[in-house]
């Protein structure tokens, strides 16, 4: 089953680039700052000042996604900026959104910490002419113009269930170490994983779902607690790059190394040493740089009035080619990709 997943991933349209080129300028604008990131217009009158607002700063995944956004924005002559909270808490992004509205940016590309908590601020931004693109983690659809989805929730859930089932031999206790309790993306994937487990893996028991809050130390501590609470645990699935790397670090020096499987969603650079030392057999992800790049081009198309976000709208996204808006204002990047000892050397992000 696992090799099928790998073949599917390898055949997928997404080919994670061997090296992501950091392009464009990066500025950080604090809430309350009077700095205004004015757009350089690629098209007359279009305000192509686009600010990326990740769940939290200091997360390698968002460093890569936002660098992809910077690359795109540099290509089309806009102005890139990145702002964001230190902690991925539900309403931590609100003050940043409000500041960007006051500053009159043309677009916000945001990965939402909560589907609801930032809706008021985002809709106020939109009422003031700001185009809002969610990427990675969505809000409720009525709070944004478009959602750039990395892969379907079904696909992301399936690949993780397939990996853990393969790694524990199809039976035993597993736990999930997630990001924050309110994260739209992780919650959708977890619900889907539960359904797939129930339907296809009656001998795998999901004993707990715990939250490391996309904080390295919290995720590390939750891993230790899981192993202590469930002595028969056979595997952990962590659908977050922060969680899986912290869990792998814990396991790599614990007596559970090689006994308890750890898989989920990780970046190759953060997981490389744990694959090489045998702590981790395989994990999955997409190319976060491409995700940010696509989000930036989607924002540009909205700002320039080329699209409104309606189903069937098409726009071009530079090196990635043309994309069509699907149902519920969603644009799909591609399929998840599985990394293991055989291919991890090909990737650098
Ligand atoms: C973390 C974040 C992000 C998620 C990845 C897989 O970096 O929670 O939202 O998509 O993991």
pLDDT tens digits, the chain, 349 residues: what are they? Answer: 333 333 333 333 333 333 332 333 334 444 434 334 444 444 678 999 999 999 999 999 999 999 999 999 999 999 999 999 999 999 999 999 999 999 999 999 999 999 999 999 999 999 999 999 999 999 999 999 999 999 999 999 999 999 999 999 999 999 999 999 999 999 999 999 999 999 999 999 999 999 999 999 999 999 999 999 999 999 999 999 999 999 999 999 999 999 999 999 999 999 999 999 999 999 999 999 999 999 999 999 999 999 999 999 999 999 999 999 999 999 999 999 999 999 999 999 9
**Distance, C-alpha 183 to centroid of its chain:** 11
Pocket test for ligand 1, best of 185, 284, 337 (most atoms within 8 A of CB): 185
- Which atom in ligand 1 lies closest to the alpha carbon of residue 240? 11
Q: What is the pTM for the complete model shown?
A: 0.89
Any atom of ligand 1 within 6 Å of the Cβ of 134: no
Pocket test for ligand 1, best of 52, 53, 55, 237 (most atoms within 8 A of CB): 55
- Which atom in ligand 1 lies closest to the alpha carbon of residue 88? 8
CA-nearest residue for atom 11, ligand 1, is 240
Residue ranges of the domains in the chain? 10-151+287-335, 153-285
Any atom of ligand 1 within 6 Å of the Cβ of 111: yes
| CATH fold of 153-285 | Rossmann fold (3.40.50)
- Which residues make beta-bridge pairs with 330? 147
Question: Do the first three CATH levels of 10-151+287-335 and 153-285 match, i.e. the same topology?
Answer: yes
Query: What's domain 10-151+287-335's superfamily in CATH?
Result: Response regulator (3.40.50.2300)
- Which residues make beta-bridge pairs with 331? 148
- Which atom in ligand 1 lies closest to the alpha carbon of residue 59? 7
Beta strands in the chain (DSSP E): 49-53, 79-82, 107-110, 131-135, 146-149, 172-178, 204-211, 233-238, 261-264, 282-285, 314-316, 322-324, 330-332, 337-340
- Which atom in ligand 1 lies closest to the alpha carbon of residue 285? 6
Any atom of ligand 1 within 6 Å of the Cβ of 245: no
């Amino acid at each position: 089953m696992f090799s099928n997943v790998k073949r599917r991933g390898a055949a997928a349209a997404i080919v994670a680039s061997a090296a992501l080129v950091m392009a464009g300028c990066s500025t950080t604008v604090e809430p309350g700052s009077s700095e205004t990131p004015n757009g350089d217009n690629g098209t007359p009158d279009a305000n192509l000042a686009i600010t990326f607002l990740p769940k939290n700063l200091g997360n390698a995944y968002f460093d890569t996604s936002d660098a992809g956004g910077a690359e795109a924005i540099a290509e089309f002559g806009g102005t890139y900026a990145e702002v964001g909270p230190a902690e991925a808490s539900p309403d931590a992004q609100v003050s940043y959104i409000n500041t960007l509205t006051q500053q009159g940016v043309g677009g916000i590309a945001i990965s939402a910490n909560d589907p609801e908590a930032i809706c008021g601020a985002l809709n106020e931004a939109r009422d003031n002419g700001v185009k809002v693109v969610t990427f990675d983690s969505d809000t409720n659809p009525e709070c944004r113009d478009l959602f750039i989805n990395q892969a379907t929730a079904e696909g992301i859930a399936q690949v993780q269930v397939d990996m853990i089932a393969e790694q524990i031999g199809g039976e035993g206790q597993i736990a999930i170490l997630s990001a924050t309790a309110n994260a739209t993306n992780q919650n959708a994937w977890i619900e889907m994983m539960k359904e797939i487990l129930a339907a296809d893996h009656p001998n795998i028991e999901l004993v707990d779902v715990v939250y490391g809050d996309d904080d390295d130390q919290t995720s590390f501590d939750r891993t230790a607690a899981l192993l202590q609470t469930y002595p028969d645990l056979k595997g952990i699935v962590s659908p977050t790059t922060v969680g899986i790397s912290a869990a792998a670090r814990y396991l790599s020096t614990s007596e559970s190394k090689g006994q308890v499987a750890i898989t989920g969603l990780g970046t190759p650079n953060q997981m490389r040493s744990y694959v090489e030392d045998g702590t981790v057999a395989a994990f999955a992800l997409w190319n976060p740089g491409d995700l940010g790049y696509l989000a930036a081009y989607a924002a540009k198309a909205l700002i320039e009035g080329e699209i409104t976000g309606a189903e069937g709208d098409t726009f071009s996204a530079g090196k990635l080619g043309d994309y069509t808006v699907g149902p519920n204002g969603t644009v799909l990047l591609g399929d998840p990709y599985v990394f293991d000892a055989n291919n991890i050397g090909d990737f650098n992000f």
